[in-house]
Structures are given as structure tokens and as C-alpha cells.
């Protein structure tokens, strides 16, 4: 498949690019401000218009969204940037959109949102929630939303869980592994999957997912 990873220089996105390449996909990852030091990187700015970015996505089967402003420009990048790129993907004929989101957003009106680490990320969580809702209800794209909790810069066990009830910790390599393997499991289409580091191999965890009952079935 031809796959475009938005945020291809990021901590998660760069590993998604490598994992997908390793299994034989044709992959382009985007950079914005970083220096492109790889021939698989293409410049893409989420501040640009739908029309500009649509041409960059033309010819790709799948788009991953693994970009983010790290709190610096939440509205223009994480929210409106993601919505515009969904529209660009739709107009470019992309047939699947995979969004890296956040596990904290499964319970938007829960008191936890105002306490502890969740409170510090309230604006981020609100914006990721709205972006996810747009993808599900307005984009017109077949989607998968992957919701890890806290991302950890540590070596991953390769073992995960999708049975998530609390804030989770996730080795970045585990998130990138699940993200890449979503393509092998059709049951992950039109599904929201919350994840954390756990005890199942990624393949076992994905194989155990029950059929989709509703758009909010998994991880909420
Ligand atoms: N941090 C967490 O604990 C956490 C938890 C759950 C989910 N997430 C989500 O996981 C995803 C990946 O996070 P991460 O920590 O891997 O991100 P990261 O390392 O901060 O990388 C961010 C990526 O976004 C790109 N980017 C930033 N502004 C852009 C713009 N205007 N146009 C196009 N690209 C832009 C960056 O490109 P350049 O470097 O080239 O500028 C980079 O590739 C994000 O969607 C994030 O919201 C994060």
C-alpha cells in the first residue's frame, strides 16, 4: 500500500514510518520544521489550505495522523490542521485515515478531566476529542482512532492491552507497533481503540478485538 504519515519526524510518527517500510509498504512521512534527512520525507504544513495539502496526499491509500504542536498551537495544528487534512485526504481519494489520539479523552465530562495531570492537559484533551468526533461523524473517511495514554521514551515490551479503564502508560515503540499492525486487521476499521502497555502480543490483542458494535464501542 501507499501510505502517508503526517508527523513523520515525530517520536511516534518516525517509528510508524519505519515499521510500515519494514513490511514492504511504500511510505512517505511529513516534516514541517525539522530538517529532512531522509528521502522518505515530504514537506507538509498543517497551516496550509486543504487544496495545497490535497495534492500532497493524492495517490496514497492510507493516511496516518501522528502530528501535534505539543501544546504550542493546539487550535491551528491539532484541531483545525487535523480537520483540514481529513478533508484533503477525502478529496484526494484516500481510503483510510488512522489518527493517533489520546486515551484521556474517552470520558470528556468526567471529574478527572479537572484533576491532576488531566487538568494540565484540558485544552489538549478537548481539542483531540473534537478532532476525533469530526473524523468519526463528519470526515466521510473510514477511520481508526488509536488512543494511547502517556507516551514514554523507553524500550517497549511489544506487549499491550486494549482493555483500558484508567490512564495508561505506553512505550512509544508499542504505540507505533500497534499503529502499523492496524492495517492487517479489518476489524479495526471504524473503531476507537484505547491502549496501554500490557501483557498480550500486539497480534494477539488485535485478533481478540470483538466485531465493531458501534463507533464508540472500544475504549470508552
Ligand atoms: N505526548 C503524549 O504523551 C501523547 C499522548 C497520547 C497521544 N499523543 C499524540 O500522539 C501524536 C504523536 O505525538 P509525538 O509525541 O510523537 O509528537 P512529536 O514528537 O512532538 O512530533 C510532532 C510531529 O508533528 C509535526 N508537526 C508539528 N507542527 C506541524 C505543522 N504545523 N504541520 C505539520 N506537521 C507538524 C512535527 O514536524 P516537525 O518536527 O518537522 O516540525 C512532528 O513530526 C500526536 O498526535 C499527539 O497528540 C501524544
Q: What is the pLDDT of residue 118?
A: 58
Three-class DSSP labels, 86-143: HHHHHHHCCCEEEEECCHHHHHCCCHHHHCHHHHHCHHHHHHHHHHHHHHHHCCCCCE
Per residue in 41-99, pLDDT tens?
999 999 999 999 999 999 999 999 999 999 999 999 999 999 999 999 999 999 999 99
Q: What domains are defined for the chain?
A: 2-208 (3.40.50.720)
Per residue in 7-20, pLDDT tens?
999 999 999 999 99
Q: How far is the CA of 70 from the centre of ligand 1 (A)?
A: 6
Better-scored residue on pLDDT, 31 or 212:
31
pLDDT over 50 at 218, yes or no: no
pLDDT over 50 at 27, yes or no: yes
Percent of the chain with pLDDT over 70: 90
Please give the Cα distance from 15 to 74 (Å, whole number).
23
For a ligand 1 pocket test, name from 8, 17, 32, 148 the mutation site with the most ligand atoms within 8 angstroms of its C-beta.
32
Q: How far is the CA of 6 from the centre of ligand 1 (A)?
A: 9
Please give the Cα distance from 62 to 67 (Å, whole number).
15
Q: How far is the CA of 67 from the centre of ligand 1 (A)?
A: 4
Q: Read off the pLDDT band of 106 (50, 70, 90).
A: low
Per residue in 134-162, pLDDT tens?
999 999 999 999 999 899 999 899 999 99
Atom number in ligand 1 closest to CA 29: 43
Q: What is the pLDDT of residue 125?
A: 87
Please give the Cα distance from 155 to 133 (Å, whole number).
32
Q: How far is the CA of 211 from the centre of ligand 1 (A)?
A: 30
Amino acid at each position: 500500500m501507499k501510505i502517508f504519515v503526517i508527523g513523520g519526524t515525530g517520536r511516534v510518527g518516525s517509528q510508524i514510518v519505519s515499521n510500515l517500510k519494514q513490511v514492504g509498504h511504500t511510505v512517505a512521512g511529513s516534516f514541517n520544521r525539522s530538517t529532512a534527512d531522509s528521502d522518505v520525507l515530504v514537506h507538509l504544513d498543517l497551516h496550509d489550505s486543504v487544496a495545497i495539502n490535497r495534492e500532497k496526499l493524492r495517490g496514497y491509500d492510507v493516511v496516518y495522523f501522528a502530528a501535534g504542536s505539543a501544546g504550542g498551537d493546539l487550535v491551528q495544528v491539532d484541531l483545525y490542521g487535523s480537520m483540514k487534512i481529513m478533508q484533503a485526504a477525502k478529496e484526494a481519494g484516500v481510503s483510510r485515515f488512522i489518527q493517533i489520539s489520546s486515551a484521556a479523552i474517552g470520558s470528556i465530562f468526567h471529574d478527572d478531566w479537572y484533576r491532576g495531570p488531566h487538568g494540565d492537559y484540558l485544552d489538549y484533551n478537548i481539542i483531540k476529542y473534537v478532532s476525533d468526533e469530526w473524523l468519526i461523524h463528519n470526515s466521510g473517511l473510514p477511520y481508526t482512532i488509536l488512543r494511547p495514554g502517556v507516551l514514554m521514551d523507553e524500550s517497549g515490551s511489544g506487549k499491550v492491552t486494549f482493555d483500558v479503564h484508567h490512564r495508561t502508560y505506553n512505550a512509544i515503540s508499542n504505540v507505533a507497533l500497534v499503529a502499523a499492525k492496524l492495517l492487517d486487521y479489518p476489524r479495526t476499521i471504524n473503531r476507537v481503540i484505547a491502549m496501554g502497555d500490557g501483557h498480550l502480543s500486539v497480534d494477539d490483542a488485535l485478533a481478540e478485538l470483538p466485531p465493531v458494535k458501534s463507533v464508540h464501542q472500544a475504549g470508552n
